[in-house]
């Protein structure tokens, strides 16, 4: 579960970061911010599951951060030293909070509650995607385990996959790159019926992004992205036949 810490005090940030590392292994600390302005940018760039949000900060308090978002895709655990009015408001809204100085027991309890909500949210998402893939004719969306959560992406927007031990690098048509905790063999099995072709022991390519094949000793495929993907000797004949059937250029 990816999280960020928002606290204007260095000691406050470092203390909480240390406690999370030692007592909350479910948390992956993705970043820290010293102000609401910094936090807004961090949330938009990192898309965390959870924000540890200090309330009393100069310039703008923690509650004002919420006004920057129309939709909340992240959970919040408020962190506060005082302000009974703020605590009462948090209690009425059934939000999670911990008091400073932070108790390990209270911290672990709050994190466990939020982790349960994040897990259920992910399960709802997975079921919606299952229904979509079963009952619509749209291109399938594949669940990609990344940084402790599952991201869904349309298979036809994936250009290529490159294996690295028990992980796979995925590149999309937008240039985006993800490192996913699945083997290339798993992706070959998942995507084989959707236009993906194994051209090398380390490379799986979406045939819709192939422009041409450069033959010879160092044969390779030229992709629309400009990338050159090596073709193994063992798979060369099969790849050449695929290129012939697709009417692609050979050079």
CATH of the domain at 230: 2.40.50.1020
Question: What is the rounded CA–CA span in Å between residue 158 and residue 173?
Answer: 6
Domain match, 160 and 112 both: no
Percentage of the chain surpassing pLDDT 90? Answer: 54
Say if residue 109 is in the same domain as residue 150.
no
Verify that 69 and 153 share a domain, yes or no: no
Residue numbers of the domain that contains 172:
141-250
Average pLDDT of the residues in 71-85:
83
| Rounded-to-integer distance, Cα 69 and Cα 3, Å | 17
Check pLDDT > 80 for residue 43. Answer: yes
Question: Which tens digits make up the pLDDT trace of 1-17?
Answer: 899 999 999 999 999 99
Can you give the CATH number for the domain in which 6 is found?
A: 3.40.50.2300
Q: Please tell me the predicted confidence (pLDDT) of residue 27.
A: 94
Q: What angle do CA 56, 61, 62 make, to 5 degrees?
A: 90
pLDDT (tens digit, 9 = 90+) per residue, 173-182? 999 999 998 8
Q: Does residue 224 sit in the same domain as residue 185? A: yes
23-41 confidence digits (pLDDT tens): 999 999 999 999 999 999 9
Sign of CA dihedral 187, 193, 160, 134: negative
Which of 86, 121, 156 is the last residue in one of the domains? 121
Which has the minimum average pLDDT: 14-18, 134-138, 180-184? Answer: 134-138
| pLDDT given for residue 11 in this prediction | 95
**Alpha-carbon distance 157 to 234, whole Å?**
28
On whether residue 36 sits in a domain, the answer given is yes
CA dihedral 30, 32, 33, 36 (to 10 degrees): 60
Mean pLDDT, residues 62-82: 87
**Residue 206: beta bridge partners?**
196
Q: What is the per-residue pLDDT across 148-175, written as a single tens digit (0 to 9) for each?
A: 677 889 999 999 999 999 999 999 999 9
Cα-based torsion angle of the residue sequence 26, 31, 35, 38 in order, rounded to the nearest 10 degrees: -130
250 — pLDDT class (breaks 50, 70, 90): low
Lowest mean pLDDT, pick from 26-35, 118-127, 213-222: 118-127
Count structural domains, the chain: 2
């Amino acid at each position: 579960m990816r999280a960020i810490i928002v606290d204007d005090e260095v000691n406050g940030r470092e203390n909480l970061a240390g406690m999370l590392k030692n007592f909350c292994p479910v948390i992956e600390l993705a970043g820290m911010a010293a102000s609401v302005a910094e936090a807004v940018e961090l949330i938009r760039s990192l898309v965390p599951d959870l924000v540890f949000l200090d309330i009393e900060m100069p310039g703008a308090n923690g509650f004002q951060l919420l006004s920057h978002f129309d939709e909340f895709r992240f959970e919040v655990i408020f962190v506060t030293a005082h302000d009974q009015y703020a605590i009462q408001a948090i209690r009425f809204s059934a939000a999670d909070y911990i008091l400073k100085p932070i108790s390990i027991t209270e911290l672990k309890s709050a994190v466990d509650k939020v982790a349960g909500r994040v897990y259920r949210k992910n399960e709802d998402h997975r079921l919606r995607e299952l229904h979509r893939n079963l009952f619509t004719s749209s291109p399938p969306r594949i669940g990609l385990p990344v940084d402790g959560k599952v991201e869904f992406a349309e298979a036809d927007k994936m250009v290529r996959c490159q294996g690295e031990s028990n992980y796979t690098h995925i590149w999309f048509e937008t240039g985006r790159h993800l490192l996913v905790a699945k083997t290339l063999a798993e992706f070959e099995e998942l995507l084989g019926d959707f236009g993906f072709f194994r051209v090398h022991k380390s490379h799986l390519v979406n045939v819709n992004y192939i422009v041409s094949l450069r033959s010879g000793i160092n044969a390779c495929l030229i992709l629309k992205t400009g990338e050159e993907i090596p073709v193994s000797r063992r798979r060369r004949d099969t790849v050449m036949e695929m290129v012939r059937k697709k009417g692609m250029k050979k050079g």
